[in-house]
Amino acid sequence: MRNYPETLLDPGQSVVVIIDHEPQMYFGVESASRRMVEDSVTGLAKAAKLFKVPCILTTVEAKSFSGLMASKIQQIYLNVQPIDRTSINSWEDENLKRAVEGSGRKRIVLAGLWTEACVAFPALCMKQDGYDVYVVTDACGGATKNAHDMAVLRMAQAGIKPVTWMQVMLEWQRDWNNKDTYDGVMGIIKEHGSAYGLGVEYAETMLKASHNSQKDGGTRMSKYPILLSEGHFGKVVTKNRIVMPPMVTNYCDENGSVTPEYIAYHEARAAGGVGLIITEATCIDKDARGFTTQACFDSDDQIPGYKELVDRVHRHGAKMACQIFHGGRQASIAKDLVAPSAIPCNLLGMVPRELSVPEIKKIVQDFVDCAVRVKKAGFGTIGFTVVFGRG
């Protein structure tokens, strides 16, 4: 079992369920490139097989309407018979439920078509039945982008964790020193990892060229040493120029305070060699968040928790930046949705209340107060995001 099994995905605790990746369902996908969705779910399926994670396949009306499971997936699991159903909500199918229960795993990794129905329905029900549910968003597709996005938002608000297929595979791998799966992971990345896969191939080519040059007695170093050289961000110096950008994790508690899960998530990235880690959008007011478990830093009582986060990351030689923000008209869980003007957000469709001048000044002061807390917690730098709700 990997370290931090309660925080990060472990192959020994996971079960993958791939739902309705069938031709008829693909025809209706408009939320993203169908090719990208197919590539993502194929990468996920290959990763599950590599790490010996049980993979359950299910289809809906395969012979009468939707067609057979996508051949690229079925070829990976030639001996796995998809569970065919009539129900839109696969969790209401007793055969599927028995298959999941029979795996003995409590962490379900879901991918399917369409996100707004055949993924969201079972995900919400699995969560209610006590499972820890992860939805692989890039291996899912919806009838429209808005339908996909709203389904992911609804699931995240219910405590279901949105992830990507490569994130799942890398959490299973966890350490490049796990040699049993190293070559397999790199092969999957090169085949399905898009730009990252091309980068891996490029790096391998450059390392091979450098090795050959040294064998020939050459002393010339790689032509591209900059990435691993020190980075300078104002007065902050990082050990390299690898930066982890802000990504919402939904690992905080309902007050937005850090949790052991949130700390472990960032420490694992620092241990992996990142030079600078930027937190997810951290709200200056817990009532202006987009998700119920999104990070927030609106109280001095939260300083010790954030300080522990920074200290744990610093142990591995990485630096931390805190991105602070106000959700504006995209603060979907706000009791009082506000914005500089009463113009609806294209994403949520809700009309916010127009802020008064004193309220605007208070928000500005909240940013200042939050920045002071960020400094007290030991962050090396800070980022301000003040454009949420622009869409």
- Please provide the DSSP assignment of 56-116 as one string: EEEEESIIIII-SSPHHHHHHTTTPPPEEES-SSGGG-HHHHHHHHHHT--EEEEEEB-II
CA pair distance 383, 276, nearest whole angstrom: 13
Whether the Cβ atoms of residue 184 and residue 169 lie closer than 8 Å to each other: no
> What's the pLDDT score for residue 217?
44
Residue 181, domain member (yes or no): no
Query: Domain check: are 131 and 236 in the same one?
Result: no
Residue 208, domain member (yes or no): no
Query: Domain check: are 167 and 238 in the same one?
Result: no
Q: What is the CATH number of the domain that holds 27?
A: 3.40.50.850
Phi, psi of 49 (to 5 degrees): -65, -40
List the domain range (segments joined by +) for residue 66: 14-172
pLDDT (mean) for 370-385: 93
Q: What is the CATH number of the domain that holds 239?
A: 3.20.20.70
* Element (DSSP H or E) covering residue 233: strand 231-233
Query: Domain check: are 285 and 363 in the same one?
Result: yes
Query: Domain check: are 24 and 145 in the same one?
Result: yes
Residue 311, domain member (yes or no): yes
Nearest to 111 by CA among 52, 36, 45, 199: 45
CA pair distance 321, 236, nearest whole angstrom: 10
Whether the Cβ atoms of residue 112 and residue 20 lie closer than 8 Å to each other: yes
Q: Which two tokens stand for residue 220?
A: 């010339």
Residue 68, domain member (yes or no): yes
Query: Domain check: are 366 and 237 in the same one?
Result: yes
What pTM value is reported for the model?
A: 0.56
Query: Domain check: are 62 and 167 in the same one?
Result: yes
Query: Domain check: are 373 and 236 in the same one?
Result: yes
Residue 296 has pLDDT above 70, yes or no: yes
Residue 129, domain member (yes or no): yes
- pLDDT above 90 as % of the chain: 68
> What's the pLDDT score for residue 102?
96
> What's the pLDDT score for residue 203?
66
Cβ–Cβ contacts within 10 Å for residue 354, how many?
12
Query: Domain check: are 90 and 162 in the same one?
Result: yes
Last residue of a domain, one of 172, 198, 224: 172
pLDDT tens digits, 104-157: 999 999 999 999 999 999 999 999 999 999 999 999 999 999 999 999 999 999
> How many structural domains does the chain have?
2
CA pair distance 14, 108, nearest whole angstrom: 6
Q: Which two tokens stand for residue 56?
A: 């359950």
Query: Domain check: are 132 and 262 in the same one?
Result: no
> What's the pLDDT score for residue 233?
83
Q: Kindly give, in sequence order, each residue whose CB lies less than 8 Å from that of residue 279, ignoring residues fewer than 6 positions away.
A: 246, 266, 295, 320, 321, 322, 323
Last residue of a domain, one of 146, 172, 198: 172
Q: Is the dihedral of CA 127, 131, 136, 141 positive or negative?
A: negative
pLDDT tens digits, 33-85: 999 999 999 999 999 999 999 999 999 999 999 999 999 999 999 999 999 99
Residue 342, domain member (yes or no): yes
Last residue of a domain, one of 121, 139, 172: 172
Query: Domain check: are 141 and 248 in the same one?
Result: no
Residue bearing the bigger pLDDT, 134 or 247: 134
Residue 180, domain member (yes or no): no
Query: Domain check: are 276 and 158 in the same one?
Result: no
CA pair distance 256, 298, nearest whole angstrom: 9
Residue 212, domain member (yes or no): no
- pLDDT above 70 as % of the chain: 92
> What's the pLDDT score for residue 334?
80
Residue 213 has pLDDT above 60, yes or no: no
CA pair distance 6, 104, nearest whole angstrom: 16
Residue 389 has pLDDT above 70, yes or no: no
Query: What is the pLDDT confidence band of residue 211, given thresholds at 50, 70 and 90?
Result: very low
Query: What is the pLDDT confidence band of residue 336, given thresholds at 50, 70 and 90?
Result: confident
